[in-house]
Each structure stands twice: as C-alpha cells, then as structure tokens.
C-alpha cells in the first residue's frame, strides 16, 4: 500500500532546518519584525500569550514556531505570513547567490518566476 507520509519522508531532506545555514536568516527577520514594530520581547509575549523566555528562545533558535504560532507572532508585529514569506524569499535568494555550491533544487528558488 502506498503511504503519502513515507513518500514525503523520502522527498524531504534529513535533519532539522534549525541546523541549516539559512536558518539564521529566518531568525534575523523574525527579530527584525518585532523590533521594527517597536515591541520588546516582553510586549510581544504579552500580545501573543507567550512568555518572554519563550520569545527569547525562539529568537535565539532554541525553540521553533509552527506556522500558526508564526502567524500570531507576525500579526502582533503588524505583519502577516505573506509579507514575511516574500521578504524571507528575497533574503534567501541573495544567500543562494552568495553560496553557489548548493543543490539544484535549492538554486531553483533563487530564479525569478519560479
């Protein structure tokens, strides 16, 4: 019997994204969104029902956000998933161009119109 989960597991790269060279770009943008909104970690925590240590751990890369948590975080900062994603893609495209020894699948992301 065909399993969607097992075929996805084969298609996905091994290891967690927090161990990639791109992950600091995500974290930088996440913290930048908060700071640009004029929020301290304490203020963001209060707006999102998270604790300040949790916000700090996320920004340091010690904890990960799921998509809905990221959405809540961004809304508290006056942004949204779409705008965040577009900016992240721009930054990752620059990263990809600066690090040409990447796989073909990742390089496709840097090409306009894809």
Confidence at residue 71, expressed as pLDDT on a 0 to 100 scale: 98
Confidence at residue 4, expressed as pLDDT on a 0 to 100 scale: 46
CATH superfamily of 17-96: lambda repressor-like DNA-binding domains (1.10.260.40)
- Residue 45 makes CB contacts below 8 A (sequence gap 6+) with 51, 52, 54, 55
- pLDDT more than 90, % of the chain: 64
Judged against a pLDDT cut of 60, whether residue 7 lies above it is answered with: no
Judged against a pLDDT cut of 70, whether residue 79 lies above it is answered with: yes
Of residues 112 and 24, more confidence is placed in 24
Cα–Cα distance, 22 to 85 (Å, whole number): 14
CB 54 within 8 A of CB 45: yes
DSSP string, 47-58: HHT--HHHHHHH
Judged against a pLDDT cut of 80, whether residue 57 lies above it is answered with: yes
Residue 107: band (very low, low, confident or very high) from pLDDT cuts 50, 70, 90: low
Q: Where are the domains of the chain?
A: 17-96
pTM more than 0.85: no
Highest mean pLDDT among 37-41, 62-66, 97-101: 37-41
Helix extents (H) in the chain: 4-11, 23-36, 41-48, 52-60, 67-76, 81-98, 104-107
CB 94 within 8 A of CB 83: no
By C-alpha distance, which of 52, 96, 113 is closest to 105? 96
Judged against a pLDDT cut of 60, whether residue 11 lies above it is answered with: no
């Amino acid at each position: 019997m065909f399993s969607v989960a097992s075929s996805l597991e084969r298609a996905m790269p091994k290891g967690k994204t927090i161990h990639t060279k791109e992950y600091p770009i995500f974290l930088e943008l996440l913290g930048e969104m908060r700071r640009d909104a004029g929020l301290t970690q304490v203020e963001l925590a209060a707006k999102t029902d998270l604790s300040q240590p949790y916000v700090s751990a996320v920004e340091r890369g010690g904890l990960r956000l799921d998509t809905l948590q990221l959405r809540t975080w961004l809304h508290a900062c006056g942004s949204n998933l779409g705008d965040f994603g577009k900016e992240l893609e721009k930054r990752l495209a620059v990263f990809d161009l600066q690090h040409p020894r990447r796989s073909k699948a990742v390089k496709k992301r840097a090409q306009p119109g894809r």
